[in-house]
Amino acid sequence: MTKLEHMFLEYGEENVKRWCASLKVFRLCKSYPYPNDMDPDRFITNIKFTSEEELQKILRSLNLTKDESKPIQSRFKRYNKNHSAGWQLLNGVSCLMSINNLLQEISIQVSGNESDLFTLEEVTYERAKQIEEFILSLNLVFVTPPQDDDYCISPKYYPELWEK
């Protein structure tokens, strides 16, 4: 069974097809199997930057604030000189954001709901859609696919979903 078929079983074929077809830069990604299953099924997009100056300009444009609804240990913080991560409100919408200075990418992930980070449902998709509508107006460079393997439901691995 492919990752896409598994997503169909889990979330409904029509939902998955609609979610994937309507999103331009966010992609639906399946969690990896145990023991690498720390990330839930989620919507993800990555933004490319080329310098510290560009990174700071992008961060200012994202209208970020701390997501106070999350525990303090999961809020945005710098882990080392090359990696920062945590929960943020991006233009008022909750997401998990990380910055990888080595890859020069900002990753934005939308998963779960307020009570369960591993639940993927219509409200999760709506949050991804809201963020996408905002970030598409910012003239950013997006990495496609954001996760380069068949766990990422993208045109590269599942072109049949985007064929007309």
List per-residue pLDDT tens for the chain, 164 residues long: 889 999 999 999 999 999 999 999 999 999 888 766 778 899 999 999 999 999 999 999 998 887 777 666 566 667 777 888 888 899 999 999 999 999 999 999 999 876 777 778 999 999 999 999 999 999 999 999 999 999 999 999 999 999 86
Q: What is residue 108's predicted lDDT score, i.e. its pLDDT?
A: 97
**Alpha carbons 44 and 148: distance in angstroms, whole number:** 12
Give the DSSP H or E segment for 108: strand 105-110
Residue whose token pair is 């598994």: 6
Q: What is the pTM of this model?
A: 0.91
